[in-house]
Chain A
Amino acid sequence: MRRWPALVGVHLALVIVAVATLLPFLWMLSASLMPAGEASQWPPSFLPSRPTLANYRALFQRLDLGRCFLNSAFVAVVSTALALLVVSLAGYAFAKLRFPGRSRLFRTLLTAMVIPAQVAMLPLFLLLREVGLVNTYWGVIIPALAPVFGIFMVRQYALSLPDELLDAARVDGAGEFTIYRRLVLPLLRPILVTFGVFSFIGAWNDFMWPLIVLTDDRRYTLPVALANLIGEHAQDIELMMAGSVLTVLPVLLLFLVLQRTYVEGLTMGGVKE
C-alpha cells in the first residue's frame, strides 16, 4: 500500500499551486475593500479591518471609470458580434464551398500568423489617421474583425458538417446564403459560442492597440484607463485594487459560466493539427 503517501503528496502539491494561483486575486479583492492607506501600513494585514466600498465609489464618482467600463463593454460586444459574422461566413466557405484557390488561400492565411501584429501597427496607425479613425471606437474594432485563428476554428468544426445535408438543401432549390443562414449557422452554434467567448475576452483584455488608437481619456477602455491611473495614483493601493477588480471581474465571471466551451475550444486548435 505505498499508494497513499504518493496520493497525499500529489494532492498537497495541487493545493499549494492552487493557493499560489489564487493568492494574488484574494489579496486584490481584500485590499480593494480596505480604507485608504491600510494596505501600506506596518505591520501589513491581509484582511481589511473595516471593509468599505469607498474605493469603488471613488472610481465611479470621482474618476469616471464607469464610463470606461461602458467603453470596454461596447468595444468587446460590437467587435465580437461583427467578428462572428465575418468568421462564420469565411470558416464555412473554406470548409464546405469549393472555389478556385481555396486551399492555397487558406494555407497562406495560416502562414501569415507568424507575422506579429506589431509589424502592422505603425503603418496601420498612419492609415487610420488618413481616414479619421484615430481616437474612435471603430479604430479599435475594425482592424481586429477577421482573426485568422477564428476562421481556422470555425473551418475545423465545419469540416464535419454532412455534405448530404447541404446537397439536399440545394436540390430543394435553396440559395447558398439561405443554406448558410438557415442550416449552417444553427449547426455551427457550439463553435460560434466558443469563438464568441474567446473574442469577447480577447477584446476586453486588449491593451496595446487601444492604447495607441485612443488618445482622449473619455474614450479609454478599462485596461488603458487603469494603466493611465497608476501614473497618478500609484500610492493609492486600495483604489488601484478596486480598479483591478472592476477590470477583471467581467471576464472572470464569463469564464466561470462558460468555462467548458472555452476550454474545449482551446484544445481544438492545439491537438487537431
Chain B
Amino acid sequence: MTAAGGNRFSRSRREARAGLAFVAPALALIAVFFVVPVVAGFLLAATDFDIYAVGDPATTRFIGFGNFATLLHDPVFWRALGNTFYFVLVGGPLSVAVSLGAALLVNARLVRCKGLFRTVYFAPVVTTMVAVAVVWRYLYHPRFGLLNQLLAVAGIGPVNWLGDPRWAMPAVILMAVWKNFGYNMIIFVAGLQSVPVTIYEAARVDGAGAWQQFRRLTLPALRPMLVFVGVITMIGYFQLFTEPYVMTNGGGPLNATLSVVMYMYKQGFRWWNIGFGAAVALVLFLIILAGTLLQLRLQKGRE
C-alpha cells in the first residue's frame, strides 16, 4: 500500500470515529428520553399500571388488550375522539385555507408594505398559547367580551361561546385559526415566490382569468407545500390540549371540548390510570400515523 493510500484509510477511519462521537450526545438523549419511553409506552398500555403501582410496581398485571377493550366501551373516550376529529377535520382545512388566502393577499402584485403585513399576521404564531387562550377566554365572554360587542353592532344576539356545548368547539377552532394561520402563510408565500412571474404574464396574454390562473398555475405550484402544510397542521391539531385546558376548564362544557390528549392527561396524570392513559396515547399515535400515510398516499395518487 502506498503512503497516500494508507493516509486516506486512516483518515476515513478518523472521520468515522469523529462522526459517531459527534452524533452520540444527540442519539443518547433521543434513545433515553424518547425511544425508551415510547417502547415503554407500548408495554405500559398492556398493563393495569395505576396509582397503587406508582407506590409498588409489583402490583402491576399484564392485561394484554384489556385497556383497549375498555376504551371501546368508554363513551367519554368516544366523545373525546369525536371532538378531536371535529377540531382536526374542520379546524385543519379552515386554517390551511385562511393561510392560503392570506399568502395570496400578502403576495399580490403592487401591494405596499408586504413585510409589515407579513410580520403582523405572523405575530400570533410566536406568542404563548396559554396567554393567548386566557385573552380569548375574555374576548368570548358572553356579556363583556369584544366579540359579542362587535356582533351586537351587526344585530346578532349574544352567543355564550364557551358556555354553550354547541358553540364551544367552533370558538376553540376560531382561536386556533387566528393563532396558527401565519405559520402556513409564510410557507405558502415562499412557494408563491418560487413561481416565475413570466408564466403568469404568458397566461394573461393567452386570456386566462384570475380564477384560471389560480387553478392552473398557482395551485399546482403549491402542491408540495400543500402536502407539507397538510401533514404538519394535522399532526399539530390532533394534539389539541392547551386551548381546552385554559379556556374551558379542561374540556367543558359537558365534555364538548374534551380532546384525546386532554383525556390522556386526565387519566394518566390526574387519576394515575397510567396503563390506561398509555393506551389512549397509543390510539392517538396510530390515528396520526394513519392520517399521515393517507395524505402521502393521496398525494402520490395525484401525481
Interfacial residues, chain A to chain B (CB-CB below 8 A): 3, 7, 10-11, 13-14, 17-18, 20-25, 27-28, 31, 39-42, 44, 46, 85-87, 89-90, 92-94, 97-100, 102, 105, 109, 112, 114-127, 142-143, 145-146, 148, 151, 170, 176-177, 180, 201, 204-205, 207-208, 212, 222-224, 226-227, 230, 237, 240-241, 243-245, 247-248, 251-252, 254-256, 259, 262-263, 266-267, 270-271, 273
Contact = CB atoms under 8 A, between A and B. Distances in A.
A196 to B, nearest CB: 14
Contacts, number: 278
B243 to A, nearest CB: 10
A115 B285 contact: yes
B181 to A, nearest CB: 9
Contacts of A13: 105
A123 B37 contact: yes
Interface stretch (B69-77, B122-130, B165-173, B196-204): B122-130
Interface in B208-230: 224-225, 228-229
Contacts of B294: none
Contacts of A127: 33, 36-37, 40
Chain B: interface residue count, which band? Answer: 35 or more
Nearest to A106: B23
Central interface residue in A21, A89, A127, A145, by most chain B CB within 10 Å: A21
B63 interface: no
A248 to B, nearest CB: 5
B136 interface: yes
B228 A273 contact: yes
The 4 closest A-B CB pairs, nearest first, are: A97-B19, A176-B18, A99-B19, A93-B22
A134 B182 CA distance: 35
B20 A205 contact: no
B61 interface: no
Contact of B235 (A28, A90, A116, A180): A116
A21 B124 contact: yes
B102 interface: yes
A205 B19 CA distance: 33
A122 B281 contact: yes
Interface of B: 11-12, 14-20, 22-23, 25-27, 29-30, 33-38, 40-41, 44, 54, 102, 105-106, 108, 110-112, 117-124, 126-132, 134-139, 141, 143-144, 146, 149, 178, 182-183, 186-187, 189-191, 194, 224-225, 228-229, 235, 238-239, 241-242, 245-246, 261, 264-265, 268-269, 274, 277-278, 281-282, 284-285, 288-289, 292
A6 B283 CA distance: 49
Residues of A contacting B: mostly: helix
A248 B127 contact: yes
Contacts of A40: 141, 143-144
Contacts of A259: 119, 122
A143 B31 CA distance: 10
A271 B134 contact: no
A22 B228 contact: no
B23 A105 contact: yes
Nearest to B40: A123
Given A25-B123, A205-B129, A247-B128, A86 B26 contact: yes
6 contacts: A114-B235, A122-B281, A123-B278, A142-B29, A208-B265, A241-B134
